[in-house]
Structure 1
């Protein structure tokens, strides 16, 4: 069942890849760039670090991490969608970070990396689309070095009484219509708003981090809770 789900989601992202960046800007009103910038400001990474950007999509966060590194530092952008990675590769060349970026295709729940490999793992707007999120967190924990950090930037749900109904209306009614208007992909964006609305709350996601073994778990919320960055550190034995 999980493999079929993953295959279907992969097909969806293959389909929306050409419009993905434009739709992200439209749906978030451009604020997703601010969220990522704010999150990056809280990441302290040595220039020669080895990082992994999971569910990297079209590579924006991969490139942001790469710009903080110097050889032999590197970041691997990892995604299951070949069309997404194709767009990411073009961006990597345009941003002149090809010497620090490797792009690989694969399954985030079965990472092809050795234990204790990375100084940082990032995952942006991808965890909610994985069928077994706890398995993915366990894999991330495995490949991180002791003392290294996971940073997860995700959509979330506002909990303020005045904001929450507006947010629900926007994602339930407006987002699919924007998908139809700007990308002619109503069904695809109907699915994406469902994953957003039903994803774990910021408190639940923090608990999921702790269940996976992460320590010093904390988060930063954006836009009244429309998104949140979660941070967790692998224990030092």
Structure 2
């Protein structure tokens, strides 16, 4: 069992090394479904102009940028522990001339450098399975979201029905790392993906974790046969 500190160092090294090819491999490995999942998520979030958002594990900032566009002037912050990822994201932000609206921060999702009750939305996309302590991260997300605000997780999940389940796991555990090797010469880094999912909670277990940290009106949506899942919870008015 890998300890929290070792996991954090390993994940950091993985994402620093795959940053230049991250977007291309996301498209390839998910058959571009990740874009549809994000659009579905944005519809369910019902973002309004002027609202503020924090995007954790923001990577190369595709979701950060989508949030900024949806809030139409609302302040958006992207946070990631990989500077290599943030550098690519900053290039996208600059190209779109969103620098005044989007701020990128290098930091730790388990120890957020923001005051309580700061954002209308706190999101994490395809990053929660990589943090050493899921509950601590969810508690931090709840702490910095405003009362009445939402925490949102879009993540890979675990299909439960056969034969799709068997086909999916064969692809995810056997073919996906090989594709990483073939396309970007990164076999070990892409072998991490199925390893990171193995101990990650399934759809209902993650929903219970949302409730366990005090989120209300928790909703969980399986996507593409359970390959991914969306979880949304609302913070009550009791404070952090």
TM-score, structure 2 as length reference? 0.96
> What SS does structure 1 have at the residue aligned with 2:163?
coil
Question: Could you list the runs of 4 or more consecutive aligned residues of structure 1 that deviate by over 6 angstroms after TM superposition?
Answer: none
> What SS does structure 2 have at the residue aligned with 1:67?
helix
Q: Which residue of 2 aligns with 1:2?
A: 4
**Offset at residue 203 of structure 1 (A):** 0.6
Q: Which residue of 1 aligns with 2:129?
A: 128
Structure 1, unmatched stretches of 5+, are none
> What SS does structure 1 have at the residue aligned with 2:140?
helix
User: What is the root-mean-square deviation in Å for CA atoms of aligned residues?
Assistant: 1.0
User: Are the equivalent residues in 2 in contact too, given 1:63–1:92 (CA < 8 A)?
Assistant: yes
Is 1:209 the counterpart of 2:201? The answer is no
**Offset at residue 236 of structure 1 (A):** 1.4
User: Are the equivalent residues in 2 in contact too, given 1:168–1:197 (CA < 8 A)?
Assistant: no
> What SS does structure 1 have at the residue aligned with 2:67?
helix
**Offset at residue 4 of structure 1 (A):** 3.2
Q: Which residue of 1 aligns with 2:46?
A: 44
TM-score, structure 1 as length reference? 0.97
Structure 2, unmatched stretches of 5+, are none
1:110-149 residue pairs with structure 2 within 5 A? 110-149=111-150
Equivalents in 2 of 1:20, 1:159: separation in Å?
28
Is 1:165 the counterpart of 2:166? The answer is yes
**Offset at residue 8 of structure 1 (A):** 1.9
Equivalents in 2 of 1:4, 1:165: separation in Å?
30
* CA distances 1:37-87 after superposition (whole Å, capped 9, x unpaired): 11111112231111100000000000000001233x111000000000000
Equivalents in 1 of 2:51, 2:224: separation in Å?
31
